[in-house]
Amino acid sequence: MAATSARRVLVYGGRGALGATVVKHFKAQGYWVGSLDFANNEDANGNVSITKSESLLEQEQEIVSGVKSLLGDSKLDCLVCVAGGWAGGNAAAEDFIKNTDLVLKQSVWSSAIASRLASLFLRPGGLLTLTGARPALEGTPGMIGYGMAKAAVHQLVRSLAATNSGLPEGVAAVAILPTTLDTPMNRKWMPKADTSSWTPMEYVAEMLHKWVENQDRPASGSLVSLITANGQTKLEFS
């Protein structure tokens, strides 16, 4: 299905838990929704499938070419990048470097490519959202690679918000900084955790939808922490 309807959003990581929730939410609101991931999301109006995973440059070329084919001459109102993952380890951990490599690919590569896509395919005044992590605002000794990757994403958003960053006129670039999302995987791996401090994915999807519609959209460059306690989520801007 071509990208012909009025409002268009592309979800980078549209097959992940949060990404799939975002795809569904925007679809239900009447958006044309594209999904970009290693596998297709059948709920989306269109898909770009990633096959290159070993070279950042090859991956970017494949993705830019795929998004160009998907969109034709249309522009996006919003690019939501929720690609990512998690891997832990301190400097003494046997898998520290292996996990660092993984999280760099998951978070830094995807965020850099998303920035490139934003420069090419967002309409003026559009929105780019990336995904950071609240713990990475400070040191993260038990998940060193993950903290580095997310800190890079935080600084990227500051760069994109500054003059001459290469984004189209009036585009806002912001990062959402979850602590723990209420996903099936987190429930599986942390069965005894207090889930009342986990942020519901539907909350995130609805928030992003409002921002696209220019309701309460944060200033470009904002890092928006999602802080959930007793089942209530509040936002903290930095």
Query: 112 or 201, CB closer to a second copy?
Result: 112
Judged by beta carbon, residue 18 or residue 171, the one nearer a second copy is 171
Using CB under 8 A, count the residues that bind a second copy.
51
Residue 76 Cβ, how far from a second copy at the closest point, in Å?
Answer: 14
**Chain residues 88-147 in contact with a second copy, contact rule CB under 8 A:** 90-93, 96-98, 100-101, 104, 108, 112-113, 115-116, 118-119, 136, 138-142, 144-145, 147
Characterise 220 by phi-psi region: left (phi > 0), alpha (psi -120 to 50), beta (else): beta
Decide whether 141 or 231 has the Cβ nearer to a second copy: 141
Q: Which is nearer to a second copy, 73 or 138 (CB)?
A: 138
Say how far apart CA 128 and CA 22 lie, in whole Å.
14
Rule CB under 8 A: which of 184-203 touch a second copy? none
Report whether 153 contacts 130 (CB < 8 A). yes
Verify whether residue 146 is a known catalytic residue.
yes
Residues 31 to 70 in contact with a second copy, rule: CB under 8 A? 55-57, 60
| CA 29 distance to own-chain centroid | 19
Angle at 74 between CA 68 and CA 79, to 5 degrees: 75
| Using rule CB under 8 A, residue 170 touches a second copy | no
Among 9, 44, 130, 153, binds a second copy (CB under 8 A): 153
Give the residue, chosen from 24, 134, 154, 209, that forms a contact with a second copy under the rule CB under 8 A.
Answer: 154
CB 48 within 8 A of CB 70: yes
Q: Give the integer Cα–Cα distance in Å for 121 and 62.
A: 15
Could you tell me where the DSSP H helices lie in 56-195? 56-71, 96-103, 110-121, 144-161, 184-189
Cβ–Cβ < 8 Å for 219, 172: yes
Measured from the CB atom, is 9 or 144 closer to a second copy?
Answer: 144
What share of residues in the chain are helix, strand, coil (percent, to 5)? 40, 25, 35
**Structure-block tokens of residue 194:** 């207090």
Residue ranges binding a second copy (CB under 8 A): 55-57, 60, 90-93, 96-98, 100-101, 104, 108, 112-113, 115-116, 118-119, 136, 138-142, 144-145, 147-167, 221
Catalytic residues: 146
